[in-house]
Amino acid sequence: MASKLSRRQVLAALPAGFALVAVPGAATALNVAEARALIDRAIGEVNGVINSGTSEAAMFKSFEAIFVRYADVRYIAQSALGPAGRGASASVMNAYVKAFQGYISRKYGRRFREFIGSTIVVTDARPLKSFYEVISVANMPGWAPFEVRWHVFDKSGKNLFFNIIIEGVNMLAAERTEIGAMLDRRRGDIAALTADLRKAG
C-alpha cells in the first residue's frame, strides 16, 4: 500500500470528506459520553465497511448511509459552499445538499477500498469550546498510527459530528477550496455545480 499512496493521500482519504471548521453555539444536552458513543458507533460502521469485502458500489451506498446517520450533512454541505449559498432558494439548496452528500460518499468511498485491514479506534473525548472533541487513532498496515479528532455538536437538535481534524489538518479547508473552485468555474451557478457533483467523486 505504501507504494501506492503518499502520506497526504492517505490523510485525505479518511472519512473525511465529512470535515468542518468550529462554529459558535452551545452543546447543551450533549455530553462527553454521548459524543464519544456517537463516534464509536460511526467508526464501528466505517471499520465494518472497509473490511467487508463488498463491491465498490456497495461501499459507496454504505458510506453514504453512515454519513447521513452520523454527520450534520446540511451544515457540512452549506459550509463547503460558503457565502454563495445564502441567497439560493430552498429547492436549489436541497438539490445541492443531496448531490454533495453523494459526491462525498463516492469520493472518499473510492479511496477507502485501499484501507482494507485497517482500523480506527476511539481513545479519548473531552469538552472543547462550544462542542466536544473525540480523539481516535487510525491504524493502517504499513503506516505508523496517526490521530484523528472528531468534533461533535447538537446544533440541529441531534448529536452529530461536524468536523474532522487529522494530524492538525482541518479537512473542510480542502473541500471548501475545491467546491469554491468548482463554483467559480461555473460562474457561481449552484445548479450547474449540483449537476456536476452528481457525476463527480
User: Running DSSP on this structure, what letter comes out for residue 169?
Assistant: E
**Whole-number Å distance between alpha carbons of 142 and 145:** 9
Higher pLDDT: 99 or 114? It is: 99
The whole-number pLDDT of residue 80 equals 93
Average pLDDT of span 176-198: 95
Give the contacts of 126 (CB within 8 A, at least 6 positions apart): 32, 132, 133, 135
For residue range 147-166, list pLDDT tens digits in order.
889 999 999 999 999 888 87
Higher pLDDT: 167 or 188? It is: 188
Closest CA to 146 of 11, 30, 15, 27: 11
Average pLDDT of span 133-147: 89
Average pLDDT, the chain: 83
Torsion of CA 71, 75, 80, 84, to 10 degrees: 160
Amino acid at 191: A
Going through 20-168 in order, the beta strands assigned E by DSSP cover 119-128, 131-139, 146-153, 160-166
| pTM, to two decimals | 0.79
Whether 184 shows a pLDDT value over 70: the answer reads yes
The whole-number pLDDT of residue 17 equals 42
Closest CA to 115 of 38, 63, 180, 159: 63
**Whole-number Å distance between alpha carbons of 130 and 25:** 6
The whole-number pLDDT of residue 16 equals 43
**Whole-number Å distance between alpha carbons of 105 and 73:** 11
User: Where residue 105 falls among pLDDT bands split at 50, 70, 90?
Assistant: confident
For residue range 8-54, list pLDDT tens digits in order.
444 444 444 444 344 444 444 699 999 999 999 999 998 899 888 88
User: Running DSSP on this structure, what letter comes out for residue 141?
Assistant: T
For residue range 69-88, list pLDDT tens digits in order.
999 999 999 999 999 999 89
Taking the domain 7-197, which CATH number applies?
Answer: 3.10.450.710
Give the contacts of 54 (CB within 8 A, at least 6 positions apart): 62
The whole-number pLDDT of residue 185 equals 95
